[in-house]
Structure 1
Amino acid sequence: MGTPASPDRHRGPSVSSRVHGRVTALVDDLVATRRKIAALQAREARLLAYGVDLALERAAELGSSRSGSDLGIREIAAELGAAMRVSDRTVQNRMGDASALVGRFAGTHTTLERGEIDTAHVRVIVDAGAGISDDTARAHYEQLALEIARHESPNRLRPAARAIAASIDPDSPTRLRRLATDARAVRIQDLDDGLARLVADLPAPLAYAIHDRLTQVARHVRDTRVAVLGDEQNPAEPAPDDRTMDQLRADVLSDLLLTATPAAHGDADVTTRIAGRVQVTIPLRSLAGTSDEPGILAGYGAVDPALIRDLAGRAPGWDRVFTDADTGLPVAVDRYRPDAALKRYLSARDEHCRFPGCRRPAHACDIDHTIDAARGGRTDPCNLAHFCKRHHVLKHDTAWTVTQRPGGVLEWTSPTGRTYNDNPAPTVRFTPDPEPTPTAAPF
């Protein structure tokens, strides 16, 4: 019998010892860094919660208003959002979350401040315990959940926290489910490369039923096409369909919502049925054939020129916006069924609400006089802009003010005196052509 081979026979010399020391240092550094980040996030939560306290004081100063009792928090959220370059709606939501954390889950906030957990653990603990209304019961739940959170990942914590909440307050799951159902919604998120994500928050049974229905129809479409499009020379050989089930489900969903005919035909067939509002910006150079600049879908960004040309040719309800090559501002707008020319121009220039950070589309906004018509304000592009209901109210009922500058720029001044410029969407996207590189004269 031969001599057994050494277990380190094929290893390099002392590779393990050299690397492990650096890995240990890396782990220690990462853990320490995460603790510091958690402490800063806890401080941010405390500051945002303090913002809620200030908003309540401001609401008391403003008194009763036709705009409701949240005017104070709107005003302060707008100030914070503009300063941080974040949507004020996002800031207001974060202020509410921070106030709940600091006020109702103080133990969790303190543990975050010490860096023993991170914000993912916090979200799980707050979400699972939000339905416990009794302060003593909630504190007991929080203590038990934190014991697990210090040693487990957020994913492992989630089912445990729900179980603890249900054992302490059996009615909590029902209240949470009712709150979640009230928050059902459909949203859209921009993605890269010409895609957008349609998100529907629905009761779980409905969501699963819809997904199952899409799967059934997708399979039926696939099987039907295989039967119809088989190889003529060999009918037993099925015709290939390169689409995955995910792609088929997506096509069926588009068909059902836009055409009510679930044939999974794809984009080219559903564009003729589009009834929504779609605005496409066409650079003059592209129209003249001297440039390959992409078209711009309002509120999204660059879209494949070939798709834009196809859509513009098929769907009669598209706005066509022609832009100046040097400024990016619209120079003309047309439509097969036109609205008032001024409204078309403003819609093309603004695309969305003109408060900094807001992306509410123009068709869902009011056209507002910067200087009131009753005070001599003119009804022309230099004195008009789109504001959503929220920011329309903010302009009229709080200390926020706005001034129009040349080129469609809106200068907002906050109650604390800070100024923030909001530029028209086309000028934000515009990038000037680079200067030509000088070349040496030939000899």
Structure 2
Amino acid sequence: MILVSPCFHWSRAPSCGRIEHMVDVEEWVGAPDSLLLDGSPSPAAVQPSGWLALELDQYFSSPADLSDPALIDALVGYERVVAWAQARQARQARLIAELSARRSEPGAVTDWAADEVGTALHLSGGTAAFRTRQAEALVSRLPDTLAAWEAGLLDQRRVTVITEGTATLSDEHAALVEARVLPKAPEQTAAQLRASVKRAIIAVDPGGAQERHEQARRDRRVAVNPEPDGMASLWALLPAPDAVAAYEWLTRLARGCGAEDPRSMDERRADLLADLLSGRLANPDPALPVPVNPGKPLVQLLMPMTSLFGLTDDPCELLGYGPITAEMAREIAASAVWRRLLFDPASGALLDHGRSTYTPPAALAEFVRARDVYCRFPGCRRKVVNGELDHVTAFAEGGATSAANLAGYCVRHHHLKHAGGGWQVRALPDGGLEWTTPTGHAYVTRPYDYRSDPDPP
């Protein structure tokens, strides 16, 4: 047994690849349940440092000798070390900000700190300017984000989401957005954090958010760009409701082509778009007619009643896009067919109701899709409205066709649930789903939270 650092030591059993640890509890950053299957602490639960990097290199250097759980724990351990190393860039940001401040002092010869940074670090002009702007914003406007980065709680990608998202805000509003999003940021994906930042911006500055939308709306346009191999891309910048509605309409038409159509959904959408915009009303293949069904495309909008009636300007959400202002939502609502859904103010989850047949009735299916909003696989942001429903406990094993035993998934993760080689899903009493991987690691997802983000204390 080798003592490598003052806080813990490991021994390794080569025959099974299992790592045994003795860790000072005060050095843990994870909860006490952050353990390997044998009850020993995971390297993911140890404070990342140079010591941890050395020990990972020493004891996890031969992947072939590791058990499946040890492979996952080593993977997470290295990711924490990478985040710790990236956190040193937070300290580098302080140096860049200090250099920029000195170059901005009265009487300084130049204000070209970014050029000095780019020359020293061999960066392009654009990258150096971005790093300088980000450093200045972190030091002057977002000190808590910088502190979280230094602690290894955030990586550079998520720090960039916060700094870029708040770039157009006043210092006061940027600080309010930071206070709202930071508590959950370490546990969120970059996409989830981006949505949280958008919601927070609308919540703290609804008037400014609407003004920026109206300005951006004046920049709507269409462009065509050459691509390799005889292809070209047709690009359009549209108001979010129009873009989402157009995509949903193409998806509806693509599904109407029938299961016998050999093309993928992407190919169908591309062909239909070309047919519609070029004036051809029929599919290029005469054997596969394009069905045109009446009715408006389905556009889902999540909106508090108080915002609908103009009592508040809480952020709303347009599925397939993300948070939008209350004013935009009211414009959509003016010509929409509404269906009222009630949620629990304590948990933010849609209220439950049930059925007992195998195939969910339409009302129950709509309820579950509205409750979950996004695929219930950890970290997935695909919309359930275009996905599939499934029993958590199989109907053949006694599972009821009820809201409590149904969940929405994208196609990929529905297939993974049934053919994923050892994945297990269990419903929790509070409405959460616990996903257990083939290596025994557990992750919990919850239904969509309909509540507005709370004001920070």
Larger radius of gyration: 1
Q: Hey, which of these two has a bigger chunk of helix by percent?
A: 1
- TM-score over 0.5 (shorter chain): no
Task: Compute the TM-score of the two structures, normalised by the length of structure 2.
Answer: 0.38
> What TM-score do you get using the length of structure 1 for normalisation?
0.39
